[in-house]
Amino acid sequence: MDSPPNADEEIICQCFQVSDKTIKAHIKNENLKDIEQVTAACGAGGGCQSCHMLIQLFIDQQHHPEKPPEPANDDKAGGVKKRGIFSKLFQRY
């Protein structure tokens, strides 16, 4: 069983309370290539399946790093950029 998430982690799988860092670590360390493998490794995605899109994104980011995500904030006025949940989810490993 994985440890409970820290304050700096986002819960991706609400059904089983699995964080982004836990999912990404399993994908990287075990070279997981599909959602079913992630579910078997840490439980994420085994309930309502609403997190499948994000799990697939993490898999794609790990196995295709040449396609970096576009920045979420495009502040043309030069002001302070706010960082939301998606900026945290789309971080590089």
Per-residue pLDDT tens over the stretch 14-33: 999 999 999 999 999 999 99
Q: In this structure, is residue 38 part of a structural domain?
A: yes
Q: In this structure, is residue 49 part of a structural domain?
A: yes
Number of domains in the chain: 1
Q: In sequence order, what are the beta bridge partners of 13?
A: 18
Q: Which of 70, 50, 69 is nearest to 61 (CA)?
A: 69
CATH code at position 36 = 1.10.10.1100
Q: In this structure, is residue 6 part of a structural domain?
A: no
3 pLDDT more than 70: no
Q: In this structure, is residue 55 part of a structural domain?
A: yes
Q: In this structure, is residue 1 part of a structural domain?
A: no
d(CA 3, CA 5): 6
Helix (H) or strand (E) holding 39: helix 35-42
Instruction: Match 């396609």 to its residue by tokens.
Output: 67
Q: In this structure, is residue 46 part of a structural domain?
A: yes
Question: Residue 31: which domain range?
Answer: 11-89
pTM above 0.75, yes or no: no
